[in-house]
Copies of this chain bind each other. A is one copy, B any other.
């Protein structure tokens, strides 16, 4: 069953003591640049630096005490791993994180820093899944999928809920799409609260499986995607795809140059640090493939975790 607006509202109450209510910023030079009124929901300021904390926190706090005591588990090398580790630590339960042994040291350190118990495996999907399964059997931990999970989706939807509370009367809301957890949660919250709102997603041209899936009417897996937006490499899930089919008007693809230009513009003019994946919705406006002139547009800036030693626009030089 897909989550309902009630599920999202309950998630909002559940995570309220632990998650930040992130601010909504505006930036005049962005508005001028894209000819629209843009409202930036700053999930880069969320705990662990990404919206993922919302879903992880909701998933962990919906467990019974007995379930929670056995812990949670996932395989991830990204923001979901950090989010799950921190949310588990806050509830005081173990988080078992399967990571490929070749994951960047900075990500290993981050997960360990939040108290996650890491098990390394070969860098293949098969190894990750079999390792996770073994941990689940050994510990009785509940596996929390990064996006194909109702409670995670409901949690991610709370960002849009807050945005629509803070900024009434949005014409459009735009989120990035990878596995679709954020997008499906956003779409449920937005269309239930404002049936006429247009929900649009931004996806990298170089990882356009969701775009193709919507066209085809079935999930088309992401095969060897190669984009700087490393949070958006995954394929849609069986739970997220139908929600997106039903509630998302369209997915707009953005070039790598458009992602980088949008990201840099936000750093330079809005003075905030966002990761490449968070630049996708800005890129939709930036590249003007669809007409959104003059509209009131909400954007979910999904996260701000980047390696400051090497920035994407610098590798272009």
Interface residues of A (CB under 8 A from B): 23, 25, 28, 42, 44-45, 47, 49, 264, 267-268, 270-274, 304, 308-309, 311, 313-314, 317
Q: How far is the CA of A286 from the CA of B264 in the complex (A)?
A: 28
Residues of chain B within 8 A (CB-CB) of A317 are 309
The reply to whether A264 and B23 form a contact with Cβ atoms under 8 Å apart is no
Residues of chain B within 8 A (CB-CB) of A272 are 271-273
Q: How far is the CA of A317 from the CA of B314 in the complex (A)?
A: 15
State the Cβ distance, A255 to closest chain B Cβ, in Å.
20
Q: How far is the CA of A267 from the CA of B49 in the complex (A)?
A: 11
Q: Considering residues A49, A272, A309, which has the most beta carbons from chain B within 10 angstroms of its beta carbon?
A: A272
Q: Which 7 A-B pairs have the closest CB atoms?
A: A271-B304, A271-B273, A44-B271, A272-B272, A267-B273, A45-B271, A267-B308
Query: Chain B residue with minimal CB distance to A45?
Result: B271
State the Cβ distance, A137 to closest chain B Cβ, in Å.
35
State the Cβ distance, A96 to closest chain B Cβ, in Å.
24
Identify 16 residue pairs between A and B in the complex whose beta-carbon atoms are under 8 Å apart, listed by A's number: A23-B23, A23-B25, A28-B47, A42-B271, A45-B270, A49-B271, A264-B308, A267-B273, A267-B308, A268-B308, A271-B273, A271-B274, A272-B272, A272-B273, A273-B273, A308-B313
Q: Which of B273, B304, B308, B314 touches A309 (beta carbons < 8 Å)?
A: B314
State the Cβ distance, A23 to closest chain B Cβ, in Å.
6
State the Cβ distance, A131 to closest chain B Cβ, in Å.
30
Residues of chain B within 8 A (CB-CB) of A309 are 313-314, 317
Query: Chain B residue with minimal CB distance to A44?
Result: B271
Q: Which of B25, B267, B268 touches A45 (beta carbons < 8 Å)?
A: B25
Query: Chain B residue with minimal CB distance to A275?
Result: B271
Q: How far is the CA of A317 from the CA of B308 in the complex (A)?
A: 12
Q: How far is the CA of A25 from the CA of B42 in the complex (A)?
A: 12
Residues of chain B within 8 A (CB-CB) of A45 are 25, 270-271
Residues of chain B within 8 A (CB-CB) of A49 are 271
Q: How far is the CA of A311 from the CA of B270 in the complex (A)?
A: 18
Query: Chain B residue with minimal CB distance to A273?
Result: B271
Q: How far is the CA of A313 from the CA of B314 in the complex (A)?
A: 14
Query: Chain B residue with minimal CB distance to A309?
Result: B314
Q: How far is the CA of A25 from the CA of B46 in the complex (A)?
A: 12
Q: How far is the CA of A311 from the CA of B310 in the complex (A)?
A: 10
Residues of chain B within 8 A (CB-CB) of A270 are 45
Query: Chain B residue with minimal CB distance to A42?
Result: B271
State the Cβ distance, A22 to closest chain B Cβ, in Å.
10
Contacts beyond the supplied A264-B308, A271-B274, A272-B272: 13 A-B pairs with Cβ under 8 Å: A23-B23, A23-B25, A25-B45, A42-B271, A44-B271, A45-B271, A49-B271, A267-B308, A268-B273, A308-B311, A308-B313, A309-B314, A311-B311
